[in-house]
Structure 1
Amino acid sequence: MKRIFTLLFTIFFLITAATAQQPRPGERVEALKIAYLTKKLNLTTDEAQRFWPVYNAYMAELKKVRIEGRSMDELEKDEKVLAVRKKYYNDFSKALNPEKANQFFRYEKEFYGFVAKELQDRKDNRQHKQQD
């Protein structure tokens, strides 16, 4: 798993180096996520053409809910996020198939776990360097 993450991170840096504009931190994570999902879902060209427009709409709606959720209590925000996920499960199932749609949500969660672990490792490393 760590090799996959390292490979994706390397791909991301190559993509970033090829572009003149510096991406914002959120864009870097999104690029890594796209590469990760593409690899894990093993999307065909046809599947990718159907999947990515649905994914973009899904992410836009999730972003909107999360922004609006800043003024909500945590449970209410979680319910709204879940409603979006349920709504888009049907769209993802049509773009791919129900099994791959389910895998998408699993791999998305897995990816964010990798990101959280990487951020924690970096924080721990900074703290160790400061203590030395």
Structure 2
Amino acid sequence: MFVFPFSVRATRRLALAAALVLVAAGTQAQVFGPGPRRPMRAAQAERLTQLDNARIAFFTTRLSLTQDQAQRFWPLYNEFIMRRRELNRTGRLLKREQIETLTDQQIRDNLTQTYATRQQELNLEKDYFDKFQRVLSLRQVAQLLAAERDFTKEVIRRVAGNPGPAPVGTE
């Protein structure tokens, strides 16, 4: 069983941040929080670094990456995550507006932009599917998709305060 290198108590305080990071996770040269590029507190940055390290270990094990594959895969994956994070940030900004204060045309424009952003996310995933196949086997690419989902479930379960193994039949 995989053991995360951070305490359950610390992860509870990061529940929302962890969920957002897992949906659009990656490693950045500088550590910034969501929103208008404001620096994170050192403790948050440390926990996110630990989460990234746990993701690397989880994916590397799950995909059975060779050293050569890992050296080529992680920069590509981090690039993918950064681009996906930017699209997710755009989508979140679109959804924050209060519908009650918008005109019908503004609502239409907002929904059109939301669909365009979702299409861009799909296009990004398809593009990186091709790029990942240059580094990984087709089976490993399929395992990557499952590993992302399983890692997210595992962290959410642990953040919720249930650090034991996943119940049978939940995967």
TM-score after normalising by structure 1 = 0.70
1:45, distance to aligned residue in structure 2 (A)? 1.1
SS at 1:95 equivalent: coil
For residue 121 of structure 1, give the secondary structure of its aligned residue in structure 2.
Answer: coil
Task: Give identity over the alignment, percent.
Answer: 26
How far apart, CA to CA, are the structure 2 residues paired with 1:64 and 1:28?
Answer: 22
Distance 2:145 2:93 in 1: 26
Quote the residue 1:90 is aligned against: 130
Contact 1:51–1:92 (Cα < 8 Å) also in 2: yes
Matches within 5 A, 1:113-132: 113-121=153-161
Asked whether 1:26 is paired with 2:59, we answer no
Kept after mapping to 2: 8 A contact 1:89/1:101: yes
Superposed, 1:71-90 pairs within 5 Å as: 71-73=93-95, 76=115, 77-90=117-130
1:48 and 2:48 matched: no
Q: How many residues align?
A: 109
- Quick one: distance in 1 between partners of 2:156 and 2:118? 19
Query: Which amino acid in structure 2 is aligned with residue 55 of structure 1?
Result: Y
Measure the CA separation in 1 of the matches of 2:139 and 2:94: 33
How far did 1:100 drift? Answer: 0.7
1:62 to 76, 84, 91: 84
Q: Is the 8 A contact 1:41 1:103 kept in 2?
A: yes
User: RMSD of aligned C-alpha atoms?
Assistant: 2.4
Rg larger for: 2
Letter in 2 for 1:112: T
Q: Which runs of 5+ in 1 are unaligned?
A: 14-20, 123-132
Name the CA distance, whole Å, in 2 between partners of 1:82 and 1:109: 16
Structure having greater relative contact order (Cα 8 Å, sep ≥ 6): 2
Secondary structure, counterpart of 2:87 in structure 1: helix
Shift of 1:31: 1.5
Distance of 1:80 and 1:30 partners within structure 2: 25
Alignment TM-score, normalising by the size of structure 2: 0.55
> Is 1:37–1:104's contact at 8 Å kept on the other side of the alignment?
yes
